Amino acid sequence: MREILGRRRRLRRGGRPAPLDAALTCATVWRWPVLPGVGPGPVGGRGCACPDPECAVPGAHPFDPGLLAATTDERMVRWWWANRPGAPIILATGGRAPCALSLPAVAAVRALAALDRMGVRLGPVVATPTRWSILVAPYDLERLGELLYAQDWVPSSLRFHGEGGYILLPPSMAGSGQVRWERPPASGARQRVRGWSRSRSAVTAAPWLPDVGTVLDALVEASTGAPDGGSRLAY
């Protein structure tokens, strides 16, 4: 059989592709709605597999199916990744699913160090070569609007991923490179998750997530007081 162009599948023990294992954990254990992303281009893993030659987020967005197809149904998840075993995992944020705040990678490194010094407890943090996403408990647009209104200033590098949004989850590969956990998920019982095992002993509940207001307040505080009067989270 002729080998299809592209990277070989990364398999877990037992032959299961790593993206499928991860997608099943998200959907069936944590009840996070997921769907396969479009993926990077077929030549050298660069660019985007979608028809847009000027794609702003190569390989890192929904295409077919669209975002509204995100599901926690095990049969659907298995069917998707059986047909596209290397597809990126997209989490549809908002509703009952996690939301996120993201920063450019350079600013995010400084932000996490500052939040650690402040004693802020964080949940999972997803890192791509270009942006890092801090996962937070679900919020709606009304809550976000109130939080932003209460701030005198918010770093312009911040992006908010709420209802109708999405982020990539590990171990996806996008046009910009590998997606990984900077801070691995921990369950509601504060148990560490090593890799993506779906065994009950490893994962007993959905990962704990901080409140968006707590994280936003801490990021705003961490971004102020730079020696030059600017933002510590500028990039």
Query: 92 near 42, Cβ under 8 Å?
Result: no
Q: Is residue 36 part of a domain?
A: yes
Whether 8 shows a pLDDT value over 90: the answer reads: no
Burial of 167 (0-12, 13-18, 19+ CB in 10 A): buried
Average pLDDT estimate for 4-21: 54
> What percentage of residues in the chain have a pLDDT greater than 90?
62
- In angstroms, the CA 233 to CA 235 distance is 6
DSSP H or E stretch at residue 221: helix 212-223
- 222 pLDDT band, cuts 50/70/90, is confident
Cα dist. 20→40, 71, 213 in Å? 17, 14, 33
Average pLDDT estimate for 119-133: 95
Amino acid identity of residue 12, one-letter, is R
Residue range(s) defining the domain that contains residue 86:
18-49+57-223
- 156 pLDDT band, cuts 50/70/90, is confident
What total of structural domains would you count in the chain?
A: 1
Q: Is residue 45 part of a domain?
A: yes
Q: By C-alpha distance, which of 181, 155, 157, 154 is closest to 167?
A: 181
Q: Is residue 89 part of a domain?
A: yes
pLDDT (tens digit per residue) in 49-80:
899 988 888 888 999 999 999 999 999 999 99
Average pLDDT estimate for 177-190: 80
Average pLDDT estimate for 142-159: 92
pLDDT at 153: 87
Cα 94 versus chain centre, distance? 13
Tell me the average pLDDT of the chain: 83
Q: Is residue 103 part of a domain?
A: yes
Higher-pLDDT residue of 136 and 173 is 136
Query: 107 near 233, Cβ under 8 Å?
Result: yes
Least confident among 13-27, 62-76, 91-105: 13-27
Q: Is residue 6 part of a domain?
A: no
Q: Is residue 138 part of a domain?
A: yes
Q: Is residue 231 part of a domain?
A: no
For residue 192, give both structure tokens.
């560490």
**pTM of the prediction?**
0.82
Q: Is residue 182 part of a domain?
A: yes
